[in-house]
Structure 1
Amino acid sequence: MSAAEIRPALEADLPLVTEIYAHAVRFGTATFELIPPDLAEMTRRYQALMDGGFPYFVSVLDGGVVGYAYAGPYRPRPAYRFTVENSVYLAPSIHRRGIGLQLMQRLIAACEARGYRQMIAVIGDSANAGSIGVHIRTGFEMIGTHPNVGFKFGRWLDTVMMQRALGEGASSLPPG
């Protein structure tokens, strides 16, 4: 097995991105979506992020996309314009191999280069130790937990809130 390549996502990557996300929706608690979006919807979401100038990366291993990560707006109101929310998903066969960490590191660097000052992680399921661990390893701090806010697979689920300063964070005013 070769080393994973992290590169900007292309529209041609979206069929595999859609498969990875569909698996997470159907079998996991990292996302609170209940019905996997189809390729057309995933393309619409991708295009909205591209139109907004947000970073979106894929990890390619042995010629196939095995994971992806992107940042998008944290909230739509203008006061949040220097804050992004991240997402990272991996194919189930690739968990615990450092690819999520590589994707997060690349995503953080790209967000810092774009002048963002804070990154928020909203992690589905407080038992999601892998995601929480990757976020801790990339400098995120625990902000809090919203207990029992989602209901999936016949049980209540928490969301874990984590945050990381980007670049100068709040130590200086943003430009302009």
Structure 2
Amino acid sequence: MAVPEAVIRPAVPADLTAVAEIYAHYVSHTVITFDQVPPTVAGWRRRLDDLTGRDLPFLVADLDGDVAGYAYAAPWRPKPAYRYTVEDSIYLAPDRIGAGLGGALLGTLLPRCAQAGIRQLIAVIADTGNGASTALHRRFGFAHAGRLTGVGYKHGRSVDTMLMQRDLTTNP
């Protein structure tokens, strides 16, 4: 499938209904997120405000005015020594998977994180057997950093997570 002509831009409050709908699909139908109740639009607004207040990127892939996916970087852990390390999240509308939008989002997220002073980017990937997210992150220079076995339990199954890491101090 050809890469659509998406505009990757900062999220705005008007995008959050679409963001909430995209994420709700994954919460309800997959194990790639360990959330079991989809956040409300108000919850997404709080997240957008929090990340913006921290100067962290929250991006959307805009296709002719429709949000086809989103990506953001959020604090990895709350302790102060972790302040230069973030975790990425990338989600695409189910009908937009495989069109190159994940790469467009991650390719924009990386330099935005570096501009914000971030030094390390962590990906926590549910091991569903698919491998697409792992391949995407590997393509953008992430390295395998570990595996956590059976840490999630959702939809009647135990799920491992894979950790990947990207150093932004050497080549953002």
Query: Which structure 1 segments of 5+ residues have no match?
Result: 170-176
Instruction: Please provide the CA RMSD for this pair.
Output: 1.4
What CA distance in whole angstroms lies between the structure 1 residues aligned with 2:97 and 2:82?
32
Q: Match of 1:66, as an amino acid?
A: A
Q: What is the aligned partner in structure 1 of residue 13 from structure 2?
A: 11
Instruction: State the 4+ residue runs in structure 1 displaced beyond 4 angstroms.
Output: none
TM-score, structure 2 as length reference? 0.93
The residue aligned with 1:153 is 155
Q: Distance in 2 between matches of 1:135 and 1:168?
A: 17
- Structure 2's unaligned 5+ residue stretches are none
TM-score normalised by structure 1 residue count:
0.91
Corresponding residue to 2:98 among 96, 107, 132: 96
Equivalents in 1 of 2:16, 2:127: separation in Å? 25
Among the aligned pairs, what percent are the same residue?
47
**2:55 — aligned with what?**
53
Match of 1:38 in 2: 40
- Letter paired with 1:89: Y
Distance 1:128 1:46, change over 3 A: farther
Native 8 Å contact 1:4 1:61 kept in 2: yes
Which whole-Å CA distance do the structure 2 matches of 1:31 and 1:68 have between them? 15
Trace 1:1-176 onto structure 2 (pairs within 5 A).
Answer: 3-168=5-170
How many residues are matched?
169
Query: Can you list the C-alpha shifts for 1:38-92, whole angstroms capped at 9, x where unaligned?
Result: 1111111121111111111000113200100000111111111111111000000
